[in-house]
Chains A and B, each alone.
Chain A
Amino acid sequence: MKGYPPFRIGTVMKKIPVDKIEDEMVLGREVCGTGGNTLLTKGTILSRALGRRLQNWGIASVYVEGEEELPQEESVVTVSPEELMRHLSEKFAKTMNNPYMEKILNAVYRYRLKKSGK
């Protein structure tokens, strides 16, 4: 990602889920993490790749410049507790005789459920 466009006045913005980010879209508002840190500054030129990274970082939606075209929707990642446990059990499959790994699995399960608001 290179460069920032010059100043813009009276920008029209729309809110889109990060998986709808397209190359060359311009970020209308800065993106902050849950701790309040600035992840991306206003004016950043976005790309699909960056959208995927934001998704990995747990960001659901962003404001981009442009007229409202898409319905405003919150992209909330919904994973049921059962699905999450299945996913983790699969990943940890070869480690379960290790008491430390059992402790880690349980902590990660609790943490990820807490993060997804369940």
Chain B
Amino acid sequence: MALQILQTIENISSIPTLPTVIERLTRLLQNPKTSAEEVGKAITTDQALASKVLKLVNSAFYGFPGRISTITHAIVILGFSTVKNVVLTASIFDIFRNKGEGMAGFDLEDFWLHSIACGAASAAIAKQIGGLEKEECFIAGLIHDLGKLILCQYLPDEFRSALQHSAENRQLLYESEKKLFGSTHAEIGGYLTERWNLPTNLQNPVKYHHQPSPAHDNHPMTAIVHCADILVRALDYGNGGDAHIPSLSEQVGKSLDLDSIDLDALLDSIHAEVEKASVFIQWT
């Protein structure tokens, strides 16, 4: 990352942090002897978060509408890993919703719609190809553009000029960012996920969603997010700040075996996942 931008971001004391409960959960889940009650207790220390988690697990998104009454019940039905993902998702919305304002060319509602749809599309692709956890892919897609929120909030002048440059020169936003200040929203978002100590399978899709490479760890999840971003742009779900569509990496096409995927069925499944994810539109 260009040094100056990195230093600027490092020096911002108000850069958002994840609630401590996430770290506690990660530690607990690493211990095979941890019980559902212990995890439930850890989550309910933050009552506001716990009630959001319950609201989410009872939405159509997780498939148990209105049937889960306690966090411990949620853990028993959904499993540790899914509940941890729910807590992380709820925390991310908590941190960023209603924070700051958009700017010309960057409408926050459109941004969130694009991000939620990218998460939903990532989940749909994961479901279709198998082998990866759907909820984790949702989060990776949801947070892939977090760097744009940091830029918009903390470096508004730089971000405004990148938006303008991208529109005037018909370039992708990350190309304009790289040209104007030597760094991209992907690198800045990646830095944030490192600072948050998120696992690398969530860090890398954020860092490399515009430049996926099998040489990086967690390439399958990055490949899914790269493809999901392209599909939701084509479907016009929201807007991440630029009007064009990046080209799909040929390596991603091969690794997802796109030639043998029924794209018509995939688009239907993306639509269904986006509808289920609409529970989040009330949160943004």
Measuring CB to CB, which residues of chain A are less than 8 angstroms from any residue of chain B? 1, 33-35, 37-40, 44, 49-50, 52-53, 56-57, 88, 91-95, 98, 100-101, 103-105, 107-108, 110-112, 115
Across the interface, do B282 and A1 meet the contact criterion of CB distance under 8 Å?
yes
Residue of B nearest to A104 (CB): B234
Interface size on B, residues (CB 8 A): 36
Across the interface, do A91 and B238 meet the contact criterion of CB distance under 8 Å?
no
Taking CB atoms, residues of chain A closer than 8 Å to B271 are: 34, 115
Across the interface, do A103 and B263 meet the contact criterion of CB distance under 8 Å?
yes
Interface stretch of the complex, out of B24-32, B178-186, B240-248: B240-248
Q: Contacts A56-B113, A88-B234, A100-B258; is A39 near B278 (CB within 8 Å)? A: yes
Across the interface, do A38 and B60 meet the contact criterion of CB distance under 8 Å?
yes
Across the interface, do B267 and A108 meet the contact criterion of CB distance under 8 Å?
yes
Alpha-carbon distance between A49 and B278 when the two chains are bound, in angstroms: 14
Q: Contacts A33-B275, A57-B275; is A98 near B248 (CB within 8 Å)? A: yes
B123 within 8 A of A: no
B274 within 8 A of A: yes
Per-position binary interface string of chain B over residues 227-257, scored 1 when its CB falls under 8 Å from any chain A CB and 0 otherwise: 0001101110110000111111010010000
Taking CB atoms, residues of chain A closer than 8 Å to B109 are: 49, 52-53
Taking CB atoms, residues of chain A closer than 8 Å to B168 are: none
A-B contact count (CB 8 A): 87
Across the interface, do A101 and B248 meet the contact criterion of CB distance under 8 Å?
yes
Alpha-carbon distance between A57 and B275 when the two chains are bound, in angstroms: 7
Q: Contacts A50-B281, A100-B258, A108-B267; is A94 near B247 (CB within 8 Å)? A: yes
Per-position binary interface string of chain B over residues 115-126, scored 1 when its CB falls under 8 Å from any chain A CB and 0 otherwise: 000000000000
Measuring CB to CB, which residues of chain B are less than 8 angstroms from any residue of chain A? 60, 65, 109-110, 113, 170, 230-231, 233-235, 237-238, 243-248, 250, 253, 258-259, 263-264, 266-268, 271-272, 274-276, 278, 281-282
- Those 10 A-B pairs whose CB atoms lie nearest each other, nearest first: A107-B263, A33-B275, A95-B247, A37-B60, A100-B253, A111-B267, A108-B234, A100-B248, A39-B278, A1-B282
Across the interface, do B275 and A35 meet the contact criterion of CB distance under 8 Å?
yes
* Least Cβ–Cβ distance between B209 and chain A, in angstroms: 16
Across the interface, do B264 and A111 meet the contact criterion of CB distance under 8 Å?
yes
24 A-B residue pairs with Cβ-Cβ distance under 8 Å, sorted by A, are A1-B282, A33-B275, A35-B276, A37-B275, A37-B278, A38-B60, A38-B65, A39-B278, A40-B282, A53-B109, A53-B281, A56-B238, A57-B275, A93-B244, A95-B246, A98-B247, A98-B250, A100-B250, A103-B258, A103-B259, A103-B263, A107-B266, A108-B231, A115-B271
Other 8 A-B pairs with CB < 8 A, given A39-B278, A101-B230, A103-B258: A33-B278, A34-B271, A91-B233, A92-B234, A93-B170, A103-B263, A104-B234, A111-B264
Q: Contacts A37-B276, A53-B113; is A108 near B248 (CB within 8 Å)? A: no
Residue of A nearest to B246 (CB): A95
Alpha-carbon distance between A91 and B272 when the two chains are bound, in angstroms: 24
* Least Cβ–Cβ distance between A66 and chain B, in angstroms: 22
Q: Contacts A52-B109, A103-B258; is A110 near B278 (CB within 8 Å)? A: no
* Least Cβ–Cβ distance between B1 and chain A, in angstroms: 25
